[in-house]
Amino acid sequence: MRRAVLALAALFLAAGPALAQQKMGWYSIETDQGGALIHGVPDSEDAVIFFVCERGADSVTAQSVIGSKDLEAGAQATLGLTSGKVKKSLTGKVVASETVERLDVEAPLKLADMRALLKGKGPLTVTVQGATQKVALTGIAPALATFEGYCKQAKN
């Protein structure tokens, strides 16, 4: 799973400056091992959160891309995700961005719990120590369906 997260970070690196001015939205991409569901600007480093799955797995890795305060890379941390009445407090670890000076939190999450969060009422609120960001769930349905298809495929 770590390779998939690193591959996604490399995708963010390939951003062109003109693309960064596009509007954020939900999109999915297929990776070598499975898929990724991202709220951000396609083909850019500009994102708020992403989820990565491996083919055939019933869990995903969620990673904030909002920065945090007073955390150290490798330390244990909490990633909070809330949408309507659905709330998840995930225990994960602090990861350093390879492209900017920022620390984010990645944590495991069951695919079913992710689906419940992303089909909730209202925005998705992403919280880490020292940072909170709200993400509209508008337009997520097609990207979520495609992402789940990548996750449900049998391993090669």
Domains of the chain: 2-152 (2.60.40)
Checking if the pLDDT of 137 tops 60, the result is: yes
Q: How many CA atoms lie within 13 A of 137 on its CB side?
A: 19
47/43 Cα distance (integer angstroms)? 10
Of residues 13 and 125, more confidently modeled? 125
pLDDT confidence tier of residue 155, bands split at 50, 70 and 90: confident
State percent of the chain over pLDDT 70: 85
Question: CB–CB of 48/133 below 8 Å?
Answer: yes
Q: Give CA–CA dist 140/109, Å, rounded.
A: 18
CB 71 within 8 A of CB 103: yes
Structure tokens at 124: 């998705």
pLDDT tens per residue, range 90-107: 999 999 877 767 899 999
What is the C-alpha to C-alpha distance for residues 108 and 1, in angstroms, rounded to an integer?
10
Please write down the long-range contacts of 130-135, taking CB distance under 8 Å and 24 or more positions apart: 130/67, 130/68, 130/69, 130/70, 130/71, 131/64, 131/66, 131/67, 131/68, 131/69, 132/66, 133/48, 133/49, 133/64, 133/66, 135/39, 135/48, 135/49
Give 68's contacts (C-beta < 8 A, 6+ positions apart): 77, 94, 102, 103, 104, 105, 128, 129, 130, 131
Q: Provide the token pair at 14.
A: 């390939």
Q: Write the pLDDT tens digit of every residue in 109-123.
A: 999 999 999 998 889
Query: pLDDT grade, residue 1 (50/70/90)?
Result: low
